[in-house]
Amino acid sequence: MEETQHVAVFDFGSQYTQLIVRRVRELGYFAKLYSPEDISEIGTPGAIILSGGPKSTSEPDAPDIDFEKLKSYGVPVLGVCYGMQLLNIKFGGSVKASNKREYGPAMLAPTTHEDLYADVSAESQVWMSHSDTVQDLHDDVEVIASNQHGTPVSLKWPGGFFGIQFHPEVTHSHEGNKILNNFLNQAEKLQPFHIEDFKREMIEGIREVVGERQVVCGVSGGVDSTVLAVLLKEAGVNTRAIFVDNGLLRKNEAAEVQANFKRMKVDIETVDATDRFLDALAGKDDPEEKRKIIGNMFIDVFWDAVGDAEMLAQGTLYPDVIESASNAKSKASVIKTHHNRVPKILELQEQGKVLEPLAELFKDEVRELGASLGIEKDILNRHPFPGPGLAVRCPGAVDRHRLNIIRDCDAVFIGKLKEHGWYDKVWQAYAGLIPVKTVGVKGDERSYEWATNLRAVISEDAMTAEWVDLPAQLLREASQDILNEVSGINRVLYDISTKPPASIEWE
Residues that bind ligand XMP (CB under 6 A): 384, 386-388, 428, 462, 499, 503-505
SS3 of residue 501 by DSSP: coil
Q: Where would I find the H helices in 395-505?
A: 400-419, 472-485
* DSSP state letters, 326-350: HHHHS-PPPS---GGG-HHHHHHHH
Q: Give the three-class secondary structure for 436.
A: strand
| Choice among 169, 175, 365, 368 that is catalytic | 169
192 versus 384: smaller Cβ distance to ligand XMP: 384
- Asked if 372 and 331 touch (Cβ cutoff 8 Å), the reply is no
**Smaller CB separation from ligand XMP, 386 or 488:** 386
DSSP state string for 83-112 = HHHHHHHHTT--EE--SS-EEEEEEEEES-
Supply the Cα-derived Rg of the chain in whole angstroms.
26
Q: Is 167 a catalytic residue?
A: yes
Residue length of the chain? 507
H/E run at residue 448: strand 445-458
Whether the Cβ atoms of residue 93 and residue 138 lie closer than 8 Å to each other: yes
- Cis peptide bond prior to 500, omega within 30° of 0: yes
CB of 250 to ligand XMP, least distance (A): 12
Q: Give whichever of 387 and 440 is closer to ligand XMP, judged by the CB atom.
A: 387
Write the burial class of residue 78 (CB in 10 Å: 0-12 exposed, 13-18 middle, 19+ buried).
Answer: buried
Q: How far apart are CA 233 and CA 215, in angstroms?
A: 11
Is the CB of 198 or the CB of 298 nearer to ligand XMP?
298
Q: Is 466 labeled as catalytic in the residue annotation?
A: no
Task: Give the single-character DSSP code of 119.
Answer: T
Exactly one of 6, 26, 37, 81 is catalytic; name it: 81
d(CA 452, CA 410): 9
Give the nearer residue to ligand XMP in terms of CB position, either 22 or 393: 393
Coil, strand or helix at 114 = coil
In the complex with ligand XMP, the residue whose CB is nearer, 54 or 386, is 386
- In angstroms, the CA 507 to CA 500 distance is 14
Q: Among the options 167, 253, 449, 507, which is catalytic?
A: 167
Angle between helices 363-372 and 223-235 (to 10 degrees): 40
Compare residues 76 and 389 and give the one whose CB is closer to ligand XMP: 389
CB closer to ligand XMP, 23 vs 367: 367
Beta-bridged to residue 109, according to DSSP, are 146
Q: Are 496 and 456 in contact (CB under 8 A)?
A: no
217 flagged as catalytic: no
Shortest distance in whole angstroms from residue 264 CB to ligand XMP:
22
DSSP 3-state of 368: helix
The least distance separating ligand XMP from the CB of residue 452, rounded to whole angstroms, comes to: 17
Burial (CB < 10 A; 0-12, 13-18, 19+), residue 336, is: exposed
Cα separation, 460 vs 463, in Å, equals 8
Kindly list the catalytic residues: 81, 167, 169
